[in-house]
Amino acid sequence: MFDYVRKHTKIMMIVLFLVIIPSFVLVGIDGYNRFQEKDRAVARVGNAEITRGEWEEAHREEIERVRQLMPTLDAKLLDSEPARYATLERIVRERVLVQAAQAAHLGTSDARLARELQSIPAIAALRRPDGTLDMERYRQLLGSQGMSPEMFEARMRSDLAARQVQAGVAQTAFISAVPADLALNAYFERREVQWARFATSDFAERVKPEDVELEAFYQANQALFQAPEQASVEYIVLDIDAVRKTIKLNEQDVRSYYEQNAARLSGPEERRASHILISAAKDAPAAERQKARERAQELLSQARKAPDSFAQLARKNSQDPGSAPNGGDLDFFSRGAMVKPFEDAAFALKKGEISEVVESDFGFHVIRVTDIKAPKQRSFAELRASLEEDLKNQQARARYAEAAEVFTNGVYEQSDSLKPVAEKLKLEIQTASGLGRQPAPAAKGALASPRLLEAVFGADSVSNKRNTEAVEIAPSQLAAARITAYTPARTLPLVEVRQTVRERVVQARAAELARQDGLQKLAAWKAAPASARVGAAQLVSRDQAQNLPAPVVDAVLRADAAQLPSWIGVDLGAQGYVVARINKRVERPAPAADAQRQDRAQYAQWWMQAEGQAYYQLLRERLKVQIKVPRPANALAAQPSGS
């Protein structure tokens, strides 16, 4: 084979040319680059890599989860660089714990998995009246999230095993009262302090900078006086709403949808029931619960012998104080209003029927359905508006993927204009000016997306004014933009920033004067304490800072208690200088018993978290964790990024 290749080199080159070049024509170099970018590793845990594609998918899921919990949260916070980095660190932590669980051969039994699944409300709601799970709806629920039951249950098993790793550390975390009290007393220790503050603002009037000094400062600090690059753009956005606007419904489709869903849209069925409750707490001894069950069974037998006496039996025997005086009557209720066992039994009965004994967390019930209120079916005309809205939403979601593909390909293939794609998908071309690389504070929608702005200021977009690639700015929301005008970053001339330069010079020199005066006073008052001009003594602690800046409080509490009284000076930089006299250490007053218990519990929680974090760091080191993207300066997470 290799001899043939060596002898027919020219033929092989032609074949390779014919195979490779068309693929570049169809996909494009950028397409290859994007594909490779998706597969590029952003982190490594042991021998496993986390790709950029996995990171982006996890962050999209995180955004969707947070949006469902907090719909009013600012979208910019969700898609910021610190938020994205926090998601990456969360993935790394999950992978570390999973690998630790595998190494320790930790697993999850079928029974434990079943209990965990039943605790998820969305899955618990899929149970039939007989207690079995509706598997078809279960598959549909998971399919809407891009998972099969097997995938979801495998993920749950992995998560539960990882929790065992954390629980193993948490359950061994123990701290007795004595060391807890010692640590808490030290943390909340108080000190009697007097101080004098030398504020920068008090020295500003003494500073009279001349033109030569302003010019020198300006020349030495030109980076402080930059006008950032700016761009004017036109952009388009594709989302579910945009797709919905293009949908024209067929009359027959709307009528068919009405026939299929009229009952559901007309409102829920309601039941009126009475019950007899024999109370038994769910954590009561088995013998006590059995006794309550037997009493309920006796009352059931009496009720079935004389159904018309049910109300009288309830008044005399029911232990539900709310309904017993009314003969056990609970009035009308719909699904979701009662606990699940009670609801399932009530909705399985016909009018006038009496249930078997039903067990719930409250005890044992005997239930009689006294009335059924079926919803009145509403007419097609009444429901038409909601039917059309539902149908348009369904069709828009179904068509979005196709429209997204047209959008993505269109902005790339006709890269010198957004107009062809906008016309094809009936999108509005919007414009904006004065854009920078970071979203403006009041920016909304696409212009609030750091990812879109990053694409706008990409090299190709700036130099050739080509369309950006399609950027996902939110779940089911794509945007693309094109620069129409660009102004590069520049240093502003001194004449434009003269006042700012002067303010900075005054600030810097005033802060230096404050520091020098503070240092002089510190030396003088150490030598002659009686001459000190300091304020009245106050008790300072970590929880009672007395309006002192944090660096001063820290310095006061770090001072050697064996050397008191003593003097300290604290440089606050641009805010000035503080001189403080620490007179004495004051013991923390003994807290009340309840407060002491809470403090100890909080300390134990801190200790447990510290041990958990230390163990996690040990696992990171063992697995040689690497995060290969730089940490943002204001990252949300507190985990170290690794090397």
> Can you give the three-state secondary structure of 398-442, one letter per residue?
HHHHHHHHHHHHHHHHCCCCCHHHHHHHCCCCEEEEEECCCCCCC
Q: What is the pLDDT of residue 34?
A: 43
**Residue that is written with structure tokens 């496993």 in the block:** 48
Where does the pLDDT of residue 129 fall: very low under 50, low under 70, confident under 90, or very high at 90 and above? low
| Residue type (1 letter), 231 | A
Q: What is the pLDDT of residue 538?
A: 92
Give, to the nearest 10 degrees, the angle between helix 593-622 and helix 149-170. 120
Please name which of 183, 118, 126 lies closest in space to residue 153, comparing C-alpha atoms.
118
Q: What is the pLDDT of residue 104?
A: 78
Please name which of 588, 584, 589 lies closest in space to residue 193, comparing C-alpha atoms.
584
Residue 2 has pLDDT above 70, yes or no: no
Residue 294 has pLDDT above 60, yes or no: yes
Residue 64 has pLDDT above 80, yes or no: no
CB neighbour burial string for 105-118, b if at least 16 within 10 angstroms, e if fewer: ebebeeeeeeebbe
DSSP class of residue 175 equals -
Cβ atoms of 235 and 432 closer than 8 Å: yes
DSSP class of residue 311 equals H
Residue 439's contacts (CB-CB under 8 Å, 6 or more residues apart) are: 76, 447, 448, 449, 450, 453
The CA distance from 193 to 210, in Å, is: 41
Q: What is the pLDDT of residue 584?
A: 92
| Residue type (1 letter), 630 | P
Cβ atoms of 541 and 190 closer than 8 Å: yes
Residue 116 has pLDDT above 50, yes or no: yes
Q: What is the pLDDT of residue 173?
A: 66
Distance from chain centroid for Cα 143: 23
For residue 379, the surrounding DSSP H or E stretch is none
Q: The tokens of 185 are what? A: 């007393």
The CA distance from 399 to 206, in Å, is: 70
Residue 298 has pLDDT above 80, yes or no: yes
Q: The tokens of 198 are what? A: 């030398």
Please name which of 470, 421, 460, 409 lies closest in space to residue 27, comparing C-alpha atoms.
409
Q: What are the distances in angstroms from CA 70 to CA 2, 13, 288?
A: 63, 58, 44
Residue 139 has pLDDT above 60, yes or no: yes
Q: What are the distances in angstroms from CA 518 to CA 195, 246, 510, 538?
A: 11, 71, 12, 20
Where does the pLDDT of residue 6 fall: very low under 50, low under 70, confident under 90, or very high at 90 and above? very low
CATH number for region 268-373: 3.10.50.40
Decide which of 75 and 95 is more confident: 95
Q: What is the pLDDT of residue 634?
A: 62
Burial of 175 (0-12, 13-18, 19+ CB in 10 A): middle
What's the whole-number mean pLDDT along residues 274-289?
A: 89
The 3-state DSSP class for residue 100 equals helix
Q: Which of 88-92, 169-173, 454-458 has the lowest average pLDDT?
A: 169-173
Q: What is the pLDDT of residue 86?
A: 86
What's the whole-number mean pLDDT along residues 336-351?
A: 89
pLDDT in tens, 479-508: 999 999 999 988 999 999 999 999 999 999
Residue 207's contacts (CB-CB under 8 Å, 6 or more residues apart) are: 505, 506, 509, 510, 513
Residue 215 has pLDDT above 60, yes or no: yes
Q: Model pTM greater than 0.75?
A: no
End-to-end C-alpha distance for the chain, whole angstroms: 45
Q: What is the pLDDT of residue 233?
A: 94
The CA distance from 313 to 354, in Å, is: 13
pLDDT in tens, 144-176: 666 788 888 888 887 888 777 777 776 666 778
Cβ atoms of 327 and 307 closer than 8 Å: no
Cβ atoms of 440 and 452 closer than 8 Å: no
pLDDT in tens, 539-593: 998 888 888 999 999 999 999 888 999 999 999 999 999 999 999 998 888 888 8
For the chain, how big is the Rg over CA atoms in Å?
Answer: 36
Q: Which of 72-86, 436-450, 584-598 has the lowest average pLDDT?
A: 72-86
Cβ atoms of 391 and 265 closer than 8 Å: no
Statement: 40-175+606-643 belongs to CATH 2.60.120.200 = no
Residue 33 has pLDDT above 50, yes or no: no
Decide which of 202 and 22 is more confident: 202
What's the whole-number mean pLDDT along residues 108-119?
A: 79
Residue 20 has pLDDT above 80, yes or no: no
pLDDT in tens, 599-632: 888 888 788 888 888 888 888 888 898 888 888 8
Cβ atoms of 369 and 236 closer than 8 Å: no
What's the whole-number mean pLDDT along residues 433-452?
A: 87
Q: What is the pLDDT of residue 640?
A: 38
What's the whole-number mean pLDDT along residues 236-257?
A: 84
List strands edge to edge, sheet with 430-435. 430-435, 230-239, 477-487, 471-474
**Average of per-residue pLDDT values in the chain:** 83
Give the count of alpha carbons within 13 A of 515, CB side only. 12
